[in-house]
Amino acid sequence: MVTQRPVKTTVAILAFGIALIGLPLTGSNSSARGDDGGKEEDSYRLLSIAAPAAVTDSRSQHWKPSDDGVALEVSGIAPLDDTRIAVSIRKGEIWILDGVYDDDPDSKVTYHRFASALHEPLGLLKQDDALITAQRTEITAIRDLDGDLVADDYETLTNDWGVTGCYHEYAYGPKRDGQGNLWFTLNIGMGLKGQQLTRILPDAALGYRQAKWRGWGLQIGADGEAIPVCAGMRSPSGIGANAAGDMFYTDQQGNWVATNSLHHMRPGVFFHHPESLASMNQPGSPLSGIESVPDGLPLPEALQQFPQMRPPAVWFPYKKMGQSATDIVLDESGGSFGPFAGQLFVGEFTQASINRVFLEKVDGEYQGVCFPFRRGMASAVLRLAQGNDGSLFVGMTNRGWSSLGTASYGLQRLVWTGKTPFEILAMRAKPDGFELEFTSPVDPASAVNPSSYQMSSHTYLYQSTYGSDEVQQRSLPIQRAVVSDDGRKVRLYVDGLRPLFVHEINAAGIRNVDGQPLLHSQAHYTLNRIPTNQ
């Protein structure tokens, strides 16, 4: 089935576990301006492959897709070659799109349905001759055996987890780490009732009521076994590896989760949502011995009482840096996507945007900083994938929840124009402050002036209620600023650093040598550890 103007498809109402509180949820976010009013599109141009205007409200019980083509509620993206990508959609299909790298994609892209009859696929990965996706109840490898470009082999790689029938029991992935291992993540079930309670684990640890491995990150073993690695997840809709090949996931604000967060997945670690501990005593669990969970404490105190729990590598302060973090993609472009090679981009559902993350290791553990990157997508960003030319594909869908933007779903592509924006490239922790690195040399007069910067810190409550306000807030004076000889770095000496606190900086007074302000002047560093070495 190949078509250039594909027929309308009808889609049943589904839903994702997206956290939304107090957001104006209509209208466009297309202005895409930085903190200083500069235009993000000057450096990153947004091309729409398919983003038809919404015809009903995203939360409507009578939701309808657009009359314009396939309802591309993109739930997974897998680049194939220099002209094609594969996308999974929430309806339960996989489509092959050709011509997606064209600068005028609306008239050039062709669509071919490759697979159908899937159950809520929420990820897509090309591996050898297969496309692999996470369905609600299994990880499936899908192949075309006879060369007719239609799938005819659906192989179950693993289905070793529990499902009660709760709407919130999503499965995400898979993604591949640097060693070639396949990872996937499982949502917590929420509000279980009725027959769902007959499918939970019997005699579960600490009395929590969940199905097997809910709220866990897992690998797929060579024999198809689901290998539990780490626990404590609420709604881990994004996973991805960094440049070192280590695997991370994003979580979304809710009960036990103060705000959106990015976590390093590794064996035997617990993150924050304790209902995942229902599986703690299952064979193969790397966790044991947890007898109680603190509630209502500031995070640093909770971590002291709960030694198995590890803090996130990065907190995304609520609303300042989004409201529902989603997919993770590593910039592997080597510079063809601008100055951020080796950093992570993280999707943002509610604000229809993308954020950027720089990570470093301190005492062997990851921590880092998040920055705004690009706003103005047509709908909620659920999936990201870097194309063969370095550009960034953005898969969108907001049905059942809400987001900024004019569309209910679609596929867009971000292309670097060749113009490097003036940005904070990286922020590194020091024993007595931070080092800022910029994408171009700074004006020394503005950079050495402490009043060019404002800094504060805060932490969150670890609690069973929904989210957390910023607590224990404190302003931090900048004692002095020293500019490097090449003008690309500024060393800030700061009093009052606090471990396990988010340290926010606004460098609105900085200018580059051409007198331009930063496109985005704010950065949010999660200082889990204060380094002891310069």
Task: Report the Cα 396 to chain-centroid distance in Å.
Answer: 13
pLDDT single digits (tens) 105-155: 877 899 999 999 999 999 999 999 999 999 999 999 999 999 999 999 999
> What percentage of the chain reaches a pLDDT higher than 70?
93
What number of other Cβ atoms are within 10 A of residue 191's Cβ?
Answer: 8
* Inside any domain, residue 506: yes
* Inside any domain, residue 32: yes
Residues 296, 180 share a domain: yes
* Inside any domain, residue 264: yes
pLDDT single digits (tens) 394-423: 999 999 888 999 999 999 999 999 999 999
* Inside any domain, residue 533: no
Question: How many CA atoms, within 13 angstroms, populate the side-chain half-sphere of residue 401?
Answer: 26
Residues 332, 238 share a domain: yes
Final residue before a domain boundary, out of 371, 387, 416:
416
**DSSP codes, 81-111:** SSSEEEEEETTTEEEEEESTTSSSHHHH-EE
pLDDT on residue 69: 83
* Inside any domain, residue 534: no
The C-alpha angle 15, 79, 360, rounded to 5 degrees, equals 80
Q: Please say whether the beta carbons of 123 and 174 come within 8 A.
A: yes
- Residue 23 reports pLDDT greater than 70: no
pLDDT on residue 35: 63
pLDDT on residue 1: 43
pLDDT single digits (tens) 373-390: 999 999 999 999 999 999
* Inside any domain, residue 532: no
pLDDT single digits (tens) 64-112: 888 788 999 999 999 999 999 999 999 999 999 999 999 988 778 999 9
pLDDT on residue 420: 98
- Residue 17 reports pLDDT greater than 50: no
Question: How many CA atoms, within 13 angstroms, populate the side-chain half-sphere of residue 406?
Answer: 10
pLDDT single digits (tens) 454-498: 999 999 999 999 999 999 999 999 999 999 999 999 999 999 999
Domain extent for 146: 2-416
User: Which one-letter DSSP state was computed for residue 375?
Assistant: -
pLDDT on residue 33: 63
DSSP bridge partners of 355: 346, 372
Q: How far apart are the C-alpha atoms of 125 and 139, rounded to whole Å?
A: 11
* Inside any domain, residue 195: yes
Residues 165, 89 share a domain: yes
- Residue 2 reports pLDDT greater than 60: no
Residues 406, 436 share a domain: no
The C-alpha angle 176, 182, 187, rounded to 5 degrees, equals 105
More confident residue, 27 or 342: 342
- Residue 180 reports pLDDT greater than 70: yes
Residues 179, 35 share a domain: yes
Residues 359, 284 share a domain: yes
Q: How far apart are the C-alpha atoms of 285 and 30, rounded to whole Å?
A: 46
For the residues 176-185, what does the mean pLDDT come to?
97
Final residue before a domain boundary, out of 416, 449, 465:
416
Residues 403, 463 share a domain: no
* Inside any domain, residue 157: yes
DSSP bridge partners of 466: 255
Picking from 475, 477, 458, the residue whose alpha carbon sits closest to that of residue 315 is 458
Q: What CATH number did the domain enclosing 474 receive?
A: 2.60.40.1220
The amino acid occupying position 139 is I
Q: Domain count for the chain, please give it.
A: 2
Q: How far apart are the C-alpha atoms of 12 and 420, rounded to whole Å?
A: 43
Residues 464, 357 share a domain: no
pLDDT on residue 24: 37
pLDDT single digits (tens) 299-339: 999 999 999 999 999 999 999 999 999 999 999 999 999 99
Residues 463, 361 share a domain: no
Residues 347, 462 share a domain: no
- Residue 3 reports pLDDT greater than 80: no
Final residue before a domain boundary, out of 416, 449, 468:
416
For the residues 349-362, what does the mean pLDDT come to?
98
Handedness of CA 474, 475, 480, 482 (dihedral sign): positive
> What percentage of the chain reaches a pLDDT higher than 90?
87
Q: What CATH number did the domain enclosing 347 receive?
A: 2.120.10.30
For the residues 194-207, what does the mean pLDDT come to?
96
Residues 435, 386 share a domain: no
Strand ordering across the sheet containing 182-186: 171-176, 182-186, 216-220, 226-231
Picking from 468, 494, 492, the residue whose alpha carbon sits closest to that of residue 481 is 492
Percentages helix, strand, coil for the chain (3-state, rounded to 5) are 5, 40, 55
Residues 398, 456 share a domain: no
